[in-house]
């Protein structure tokens, strides 16, 4: 994939002219794209299929006010599109415990405590799936901030 | 007795997982490769064994982490550590803050910056350059929208090159990721009493 076709640079509308410094970190943007693949579309997806992950990613992007990234992820959300809306609690989908956790880790990680993990376990989420969920939310926190930083470098308003 | 730590410290604590880490003897070939376990290197932390539950993410994250924090050129090692500290303080990741404050102090041969940050957080007074770096990292960690054009202007006014600003964006964003693993999946603990 061309450097400027990676999600982070595309979402920030970055070009070779607007941020030439990205060439010095081409490897980092390539690895960032590999990480997106690993958390959004892993071979071993555990309890969270690719379309569900895409919907969660769109939800997290919306929570952060990033409409461009939200649109990018929504394309893969399929039948799970509803949960990409932060107003949806997940009750009707039987995913309230997952969405409550995702929203807290995305927006208020400071106050996440042992009991939040215990609630997931009590709802039957496996240890491996808890780690998978954290990696997804954590990666999005990174990618969203890379994109917003690149926009600021170019003097773009949000 | 084991205590969970709630205060910032440069003395790196232990990390106790909230989920059961992968057992090394049960690890798959793919996990062993991502854990970089070789016959001469069989020592793996509980943190990395925990992340091995999602081996595909672990395998890509480790080289990405190292590239952002240690690749040559651009921003200095110590300033990238400052970029890591902003989010770690916002997100109250005691373990991450300890590791990266300790590295910052050792790289600089000086504890005054991290002493001030641990004592006063965002109200700490730093040199203009460190202040601009920390403010950007701190604000963008709180919410991406908190960092503004004025903060970007402050970085340029403090003399940061475009390459250095890009490295700051990457290192501070990286800790939005790292904090959400370390602080969410485990507790910073210390044996014994104070």
pLDDT of B43 = 82
Size of interface A-B (CB pairs under 8 A): 166
Check pLDDT > 80 for residue B37: no
Max alpha carbon distance in chain B (Å)?
Answer: 54
Given A20, A21, A105, which is nearest B180 (Cβ)? A105
Å between A4 CA and nearest CA of chain B: 15
Q: Is residue B138 one of the residues assigned to a domain?
A: yes
The domain A3-153 is placed in CATH, from the list 1.20.1290.10, 1.10.3720.10, 3.40.50.2300, 3.40.50.620, at 1.20.1290.10
> What's the pLDDT band for B194 if we cut at 50, 70, 90?
low
Nearest Cα residue in chain A from B20:
A127
Domain count, chain B: 2
Please list, in sequence order, all residues whose beta carbon lies within 8 angstroms of the beta carbon of residue A47, skipping any fewer than 6 positions away: A125, A126, A129, A132
CB pair distance less than 8 Å for B57 and A39: yes
CA dihedral over B99, B20, A36, A101, signed as positive or negative: negative
CB pair distance less than 8 Å for A42 and B90: no
CA torsion angle for A68, A69, A70, A71 (degrees, to 10)? 60
Q: Is residue B182 one of the residues assigned to a domain?
A: no
For A115-154, the pLDDT digits (tens) are 999 999 999 999 999 999 999 999 999 999 999 999 999 9
Q: Which letter does DSSP use for residue A86 in this model? A: T
The backbone torsions φ and ψ at residue B38, rounded to the nearest 5 degrees and listed phi first, read: -130, 165
Q: Is residue B43 one of the residues assigned to a domain?
A: yes
Q: Is residue B38 one of the residues assigned to a domain?
A: yes
Å between A30 CA and nearest CA of chain B: 9
For A12-60, the pLDDT digits (tens) are 999 999 999 999 999 999 999 999 999 999 999 999 999 999 999 999 9
Segments forming the whole domain that contains residue B81: 75-177
B103 and B31 within one domain: no
Nearest Cα residue in chain B from A143:
B173
Q: Quick check: B100 and B182 in contact, CB under 8 A?
A: no
For B53-79, the pLDDT digits (tens) are 999 999 999 999 999 999 999 999 999
pLDDT of B193 = 59
For residue B18, the chain A residues in CB contact (below 8 A) are 114, 117-118
Q: Quick check: helix, strand or coil at residue B190?
A: strand
A interface mutation test: which of B60, B150, B151 has the most A CBs within 10 A?
A: B60
For B5-29, the pLDDT digits (tens) are 999 999 999 999 999 999 999 999 9
Q: So where are chain A's domains? A: 3-153
Helical H segments across A21-126, by residue range: 26-40, 50-63, 67-74, 96-107, 114-122
Q: Quick check: A19 and B166 in contact, CB under 8 A?
A: yes
Q: Is residue B54 one of the residues assigned to a domain?
A: yes
For residue A20, the chain B residues in CB contact (below 8 A) are 162
Q: Is residue B137 one of the residues assigned to a domain?
A: yes
Distance CA A12, CA A9 (A): 5
pLDDT of B155 = 98
> What's the pLDDT band for B36 if we cut at 50, 70, 90?
confident
For A69-114, the pLDDT digits (tens) are 999 999 999 999 999 999 999 999 999 999 999 999 999 999 999 9
Q: Is residue B36 one of the residues assigned to a domain?
A: yes
> What's the pLDDT band for B40 if we cut at 50, 70, 90?
confident
For B76-130, the pLDDT digits (tens) are 999 999 999 999 999 999 999 999 999 999 999 999 999 999 999 999 999 999 9
Q: Is residue B16 one of the residues assigned to a domain?
A: yes
């Amino acid at each position: 994939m061309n450097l400027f076709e990676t999600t982070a640079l595309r979402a920030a509308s970055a070009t070779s002219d607007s941020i030439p410094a990205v060439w010095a970190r081409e490897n980092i943007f390539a690895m960032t794209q590999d990480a997106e693949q690993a958390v959004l579309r892993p071979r071993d997806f555990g309890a969270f299929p690719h379309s569900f992950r895409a919907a969660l990613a769109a939800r997290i992007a919306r929570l952060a006010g990033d409409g461009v990234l939200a649109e990018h992820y929504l394309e893969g959300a399929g039948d799970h599109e509803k949960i990409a809306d932060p107003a949806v609690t997940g009750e009707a989908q039987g995913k309230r415990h997952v969405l409550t956790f995702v929203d807290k880790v995305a927006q208020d990680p400071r106050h996440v405590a042992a009991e939040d993990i215990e609630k997931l376990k009590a709802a039957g989420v496996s240890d491996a799936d808890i780690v998978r969920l954290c990696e997804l939310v954590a990666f999005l926190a990174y990618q969203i901030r890379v994109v917003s930083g690149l926009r600021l470098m170019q003097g773009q308003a949000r | 007795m084991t205590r969970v730590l709630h205060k910032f410290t440069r003395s790196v604590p232990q990390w106790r997982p909230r989920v059961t880490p992968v057992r090394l003897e049960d690890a798959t070939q793919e996990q062993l490769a991502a854990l970089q376990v070789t016959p001469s290197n069989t020592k793996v932390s509980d943190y990395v064994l925990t992340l091995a539950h999602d081996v595909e993410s672990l395998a890509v994250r480790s080289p990405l982490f190292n590239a952002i924090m240690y690749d040559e050129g651009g921003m200095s090692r110590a300033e990238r550590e400052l970029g890591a500290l902003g989010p770690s303080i916002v997100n109250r990741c005691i373990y991450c803050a300890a590791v990266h404050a300790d590295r910052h102090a050792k790289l600089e041969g000086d504890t005054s910056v991290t002493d001030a940050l641990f004592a006063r957080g965002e109200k700490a007074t730093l040199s203009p350059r460190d202040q601009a770096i920390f403010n950007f990292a701190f604000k963008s960690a709180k919410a991406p929208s908190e960092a503004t054009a004025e903060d970007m202007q402050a970085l340029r006014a403090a003399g940061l090159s475009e390459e250095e600003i890009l490295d700051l964006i990457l290192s501070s964003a990286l800790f939005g990721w790292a904090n959400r693993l370390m602080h969410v999946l485990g507790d910073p603990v210390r044996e014994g009493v104070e």
